[in-house]
Structure 1
Amino acid sequence: MLTVLVDRQRLSSIAHTHHPIAAPISGVNLNRLLRRAGREPAARILDLGCGEAAWSLQALAHYPDGVADGLDINPFALERAAAAAAERGLADRLLLHERDVREYPADGGYDLVLCVGSTHAFGGFRKTLDAAGRHVTADGVLMIGEGFWAVPPIPAALDALDAAESDHTDLAGLVAVAAEAGWAPVYAHVSEAAEWDDYEWSWTGSLTEWALDNPGHPDSAAALAIAREHRTGWLAGYRGVLGFVTLVLRRA
C-alpha cells in the first residue's frame, strides 16, 4: 500500500468532485431508494457521514417540509455541502455538523436515518445497526449502504482493499445480520456494474484531473500516485468481487 503524507480529507473531497453521492449508486437509484423510504413531507432526517450531503439534500427535495442534520468530520466536504445547499435553496433546512458520528446524542426522533458508505465510522455493519438505530423513531426508516462479497474474495481483492475475508459477508449473510439485530428490509438496491464503474472512474479521474491541472501543488504528485494505486487495485483486484447494497430497513 502506498504511504504518502498528504491531507487525505482534502483529497477525498477532490476525488468526489464528479460523484458527490460518494457511493456506487446513480442519481436515479438514489431517488428510487428515497421514494421507497416513504416518509411524511415533514420528515426529520439524519445523515451520518454525510460528505457533501448529496443524500440529505435529495431527501429534502422529496420531503418538502422536512429538515435534516448532516454529520461529517471532513471540513472540505462540509464546505461543499453548504455551497450545494445554498445553491438549491435548502440552506435553511439543512444543519451541518463537523463532528464524529459516534458522539452525536441519540434522541430517537428521526424519521429517516441515512448511513451510506460510512459504517466504518461505527466499526462495521452490525455496530452501525445498533448505533444508528438509536436515532430512529419507532416506525422510522434506517437506510444503510454497505459492502458485501459478490463472489469469494481473491487475494488481489483483499490486498487492494487492505481487508480480510471476515470483514464482509455475502449478501444473504448481511441481510441475516440485519434480521438478527431486529431490522427487516422493506426494499434494497444492489449496485450494478455500471454504477460501480461510474463511481470508480469518477473517483480516480477527479483526482487525476486535479493533479494534472495543478502541477505545482505540493500534493499533486501524491494525488496522481493515489489515483493510480486505487485504479489498479480496483481493476486488477476487487472489480466484480466487492458488491454494494443499500438497505431500507424498519424495525421488525
Structure 2
Amino acid sequence: MAEAVELLIRDWVASQVVGDLAADAVVQHAGTATSVAIEFKTRVNGASAQQLARQAQQLAMPMVVIGREMTRAARAILAEAGVGSVDGLGNVHLTLPGLIMRTTGESRARPAQPRSRLSGKSSLVAQAMLLDTDRLVDEICDGLERTGTEYALTGTAAVARISPLLTNVPVVEVWLNATADPDAVCESLQAQPVESGPNLVILQERNDAPLAFRTRQRDKWIANVFRLYVDVRRDPQRGREQADHLRREVIGF
C-alpha cells in the first residue's frame, strides 16, 4: 500500500522545494493551491514519530509520512499531531484537501507454511491450454475457487475487467495466498511451466498482503486498486499508460 501511494504521488504531481525546511517531496494537490510535504521513511517508531510531529509543526502545510514499517504507537502519535501516515501493511490515515482516506491493514505478517511456495516475492510462468484471454481468466479463477485457493487477479487482465483500455491481453497475472502450492495449482489448471512466452503468471508473497482489500468484480476476485496500480505500472507493454488510465478512471486522482 505504501508503495502504491508513493507511486501515485510521484506520478500525480511535481516536486518542489520549501525553503530551508525542505521535505523529501512537496506536491500540489490537484485542483487546489495547497502544498503537501511528504516524508519517505524505511521505519517509523514512537521516537521518530515525535520528531516528525515536531518537524510538521514548523511547516506551513500538511505533512504525510510514508514508511515501509510503522509501529502502532507511531501511527497514533502522527494522527494526534495531524500528520498523515501510510505504511507497508496497508494502514492509511490521510486528511488532506480533497482527499480523506482511512484503511486498516494487517497487524503483522502471517507465518508462511507452504509446501513448495515460491520463495519471497516471486513468480511462476506457465502456458495454459486455453488461448482466448477471457476464457483463460474464467478457467483460472474458476479452477482456483474449486480448489479453495485464495487469489486476486491483477495486471492487464484485471484492468480489462474493471476499466478496459487495451483490447489485447496476452498474459493473465494472478496473486495466490502465501500457503498455496504453485506446482499443485499449475497441475490443477493443466498449465505447464515454461521459460518464455507464458500466458499465465502466478505471483506469491511471503504473506497475504497482495490479497488485502481485494474486491469481487464480475464474479472474480480482483486485487485492490492500489495494488493493481503498482502491478500494472511495471508491465513493459504500455504499463505506464494503463496505470494512468486506472488512476484517472477508477482511483479518481
More helix by share: 1
* Higher normalized contact order (CA 8 Å, seq sep 6+, divided by chain length): 1
Q: What's the TM-score, normalizing by structure 2?
A: 0.26
Q: What's the TM-score, normalizing by structure 1?
A: 0.27
